[in-house]
Amino acid sequence: MTHGAAPAHVPLPPDTPGAHSRRLGLIAVVATFGGLLFGYDTGVINGALEPMKADLGLTAAKEGFVVSILIFGAAIGALIGGKHADIHGRRKNILILAVIFGIGTIGCSLAPNWLILAFFRFILGLAVGGASATVPIYLAEISPYEQRGSLVTRNEFMIVLGQFAAFVINAIIFNIWGENESVWRFMLIVAVLPAFALFFGMLRMPESPRWLSSQGKDAEALAVLRQVRSPERAEAEMAEVRALAKEEKEAQMGGWSDLREPWIMRLIIIGAGLGIFQQFTGINSIMYYGTQLLQEAGFSSNGAIIANTLNGLFSVLGITVGMLIMNKFDRRTLLLGGFALTTFFHILVGLSAFLLPDGIVKAYVIMLFVIGFVFSMQGTIGPLVWLLLAEIFPLKIRSFAMGTCVFVLWMANALVAFGFPPLVAAFGIAPTFFMFAVLGVVALVFIATMVPETRGKTLEEFEDEMRQKYSNGGQGQLSAAE
């Protein structure tokens, strides 16, 4: 496949603050309710599970099925949602996902038995996966490149906030209505409120200007850019978007056949690798099984439940710090630093579990290092992977590629979710965290040799750079630091 000459890039005029800045902020708030739902629906099962087991008579096998079915639904939802967003638009896809979130939430809350509950948990998973693939792309495509890091990262902040909110709301509801055998239903139904907010809010939000331009709707795309950019910036940015959309149309990009292109295949490999290594830090082993881990470390049942809330709190603090520094350091630098820190804390957790005698001191030391891991992870790797997945893919396959990579990410999530409890049971805390440390070293090598830099570049500039370096007949190799 041959390509036309790459569009020449000229510096864009600065995006001076104004009314459009407030409009962009509102769009980010509304869209990230999808992230809030993602977080709440994955975190709420933690507190709801025990009363749910008692009310529905769940066996261990049924319990595992009910919990894990959402993860598999999310993997499928990422694939379907990504492709649907390419065909019908980012905004319309988010509206559909809001409806699915509402249906899934209500269905779970009213489920008369575990089979119906599992079915609607799967439906919720479709929405969670679809949101994880669509919302970051929507935010990346509507943001000016100077703010893209902080705006896309807001979605990860809302995911973490949703998980923390689930822990807190569960505790409040349990303390008020804990004697009611259906208390778990109250915990689940709360999620219908942000689902309504997402749906009615997105009705008033614009479509992605880059997607509109890819559909030949340049006038509508420019109108959207004028809502969220200064007038001079909107015109200049639209010219760049139009030039790249024309080139991509000539290249006939958009599906599996494009994987024959070396530069696109390389980006898919990078995206899938980032998703796998994000999950292989073991972050969701803490989010799903933090209480059980702390009990294994030496806390009592009540002590572990209380201590586990610190994981949620430091997740929020970590992502807050990440948002503050995201646009001040290169993506690669933060990724390498993040994996170095998480690997360091994995080793410390393993050494503490292996060397310290059983007792409360050992329990508190392990808790401290686990909190350090969670903080480091959520301040760097967590948001950065989602940001890079939203940045690195060419427009015509952006949602398709995002959906594919998020599918891989969710499958890695499922592997950790299934593998962590038996690993700890069979080998103990120390060997399990030493395994995470080894995977962290592999991740550092992968990032150093494969992952390109995207900071300070428009989506179009980065795409153009990768096409020239890695397309058929392209000359040279893109150094990792570029």
pLDDT digits (tens, 9 = 90+) for 330-365: 999 999 999 999 999 999 999 999 999 988 899 999
H helices of 32-113, in order, are 33-56, 60-88, 90-110
Confidence at 7, pLDDT banded by 50, 70, 90: very low
Given a cut of 90, whether residue 51 has pLDDT beyond it is no
Neighbouring C-alpha atoms within 13 Å toward the C-beta of 361: 5
Residue with the bigger pLDDT between 198 and 251: it is: 198
| Portion of the chain with pLDDT greater than 70, in percent | 91
pLDDT tens digits, one per residue of 75-106: 899 888 878 888 899 999 999 999 999 999 99
Please write the tens of the pLDDT for every residue from 393-410: 887 777 778 888 988 998
pLDDT at residue number 324: 85
Q: Tell me the C-alpha distance between 77 and 132, whole Å.
A: 9
User: What mean pLDDT do residues 242-247 have?
Assistant: 69
Encoded amino acid at 482, one letter: E
Provide the residue type at 130 as one letter. Answer: G
d(CA 300, CA 363): 10
pLDDT at residue 480 is higher than 50: no
Q: Are 150 and 11 spatial neighbours (Cβ–Cβ below 8 Å)?
A: no
Q: HSE-up of 322 (CA within 13 Å, CB side)? A: 36
Contact between 152 and 140 (Cβ < 8 Å): yes
Residues 6 or more apart from 257 whose CB is under 8 A from it? none
Hey, what are 43's tokens? 């975190």
Instruction: Please report the domains of the chain, with CATH numbers, ordered by start residue.
Output: 15-205 (1.20.1250.20), 252-482 (1.20.1250.20)
Confidence of residue 285 (pLDDT cuts 50, 70, 90): confident
Q: Which of 154-168, 193-207, 458-472 has the lowest mean pLDDT?
A: 458-472
Cα angle 467-323-441, degrees, rounded to a multiple of 5: 65
Q: What is the mean pLDDT of residues 132-137?
A: 89
* Low-confidence winner among 95-104, 374-383, 386-395, 439-448 (lowest mean pLDDT): 386-395
Asked whether the predicted pLDDT for residue 459 surpasses 90, the reply is no
Nearest CA to 418 out of 244, 323, 319, 285 is that of 285
- 251 pLDDT exceeds 50? no
Structure token pair of residue 413? 């999530």
DSSP state of 28: H
| Number of helices (H), then strands (E), in the chain | 20, 0
pLDDT-above-90 percentage for the chain: 44
Least confident of 10-14, 35-39, 286-290: 10-14
Give the three-state DSSP class for 475. Answer: coil
- Burial degree of 4 (CB within 10 A; 0-12, 13-18, 19+): exposed
Question: What CA–CA distance (Å, rounded) separates 42 from 324?
Answer: 25
pLDDT tier, 148 (very low <50, low <70, confident <90, very high otherwise): confident
